[in-house]
Amino acid sequence: MWGGRGGGKSRSVASALVLKALQSPERVLCAREVQKSIKDSSKRLLDDEIARMEVGHLFDSTESEIRGKNGSLFIFAGLRGNASQIKSLEGVTIAWVDEAQTITQASLDTLIPTIRAPGSEIWLTWNPLRAEDPVDAMFRSDVPPPDAKVIEVQHDDNPWFPDELRDQMEWQRARDFDKYLHIWRGAYWTNSEARVFKNWRVGAEVEFEGASVAEFRLGADFGYSIDPSCLVRCYLRGQTLFIDHEAYKIGCEIEQLPELFSRVPEAEKWPITADSSRPETISYLRRNGFDRIRPSIKGPGSVEEGIAFLQSYDIVVHPRCVHIADELATYSYKKDKLTGEPIPQLEDKNNHLIDALRYALEGVRRIKEKPTLTFAIPSIARR
């Protein structure tokens, strides 16, 4: 089952699995590509569904598994790096892979032949990223496997789609239709010449181990009634820029900013470089727990220089930082109105967290030799 945000795919699968486990003994593997701890798994969602259905007396839920009184069993595992453990599993009747857009071909090749009990099934749920991702290449190609059932699930298939999500969706639809299509309709990210950032990826949680001893750099951008206020935390390791925390809220009132910024761990302890066009906001934050916040230094060419500086690093984004990932995927150069070809001018949209990221690294950029700004648009450069 694939589709955009708000379709209820994961919750529907969790409900169905609980019901099946009540009807007959099932051995269910709940997997994700990376599961560093049980907190990264689907266990909480299954526990919530068991409680919602008021059938907790028919299950025993421990820290690492869920057992039914009738012999059903839910087990949880990460696929990456666990080939031997996955191959050793016996008698799995249903394997559910959530967030399957991140699954690698190696994991698919390990999982599929492992689930071989009579009548066994593999269920996958995902929000698409790219057409070339293994799960999409296998199941959404012109010739999917003959025993596969592929279902598109969108928000309008969900009768319980909440008004809060609907408000976000309509705001996105009016503001940036391409981004709306990707987030809310499951359209693929495009990676055309117009995209500014092609030097980034969503990393695995294990790649962020050791962040506790990193020298963090924080940047903030302030929104208005329909724009987000946001804070991003990052750190450098050689030529790699790691982004591990973000805070993001649309229509955030000034008195709500301290609570919003507190969602980023230890934000009050580290210097924050913020949008200098809002001195009154910076002053308010200084008086309310963030006394190390300071204004950015702007000037002619500062945006372009900051973007070029970001392009000089390999950027790795933590999976929880969904908003900065969306911006890195959609931030673009402007296009010629007649030809539709990209031109060397930056669009001023989809860039609130990117602006915050520029501010966070402003000090590093200024102590280094300023990079030469080049726009990698061969079709323009040749003309």
Q: Per-residue confidence at 198, pLDDT binned at 50, 70, 90?
A: confident
Least Cα distance to 377 among 191, 130, 195 occurs for 195
pLDDT tens sequence across 205-256: 889 987 888 999 999 999 976 789 999 999 999 999 999 999 999 889 999 9
Beta-carbon contacts of 368 under 8 Å, excluding residues fewer than 6 positions away, are: none
pLDDT tens sequence across 103-120: 999 999 999 999 988 999
What is the CATH topology of the domain spanning 200-381?
Answer: Nucleotidyltransferase; domain 5 (3.30.420)
Distances (CA, A) of 80 to 110, 201, 205, 368: 10, 17, 11, 38
- Average pLDDT taken over every residue of the chain: 88
pTM of the model: 0.54
For 30, phi and psi rounded to 5 degrees?
A: -105, 110
Residue for token digits 């928000």? 155
CA dihedral angle for residue 298, residue 300, residue 306, residue 312, rounded to 10 degrees: -150
For 335, phi and psi rounded to 5 degrees?
A: -120, 145
Q: In CATH, which of 3.90.1170.50, 3.40.50.300, 3.40.50.10470, 2.60.300.12 is domain 9-157?
A: 3.40.50.300
* Domain positions in the chain: 9-157, 200-381
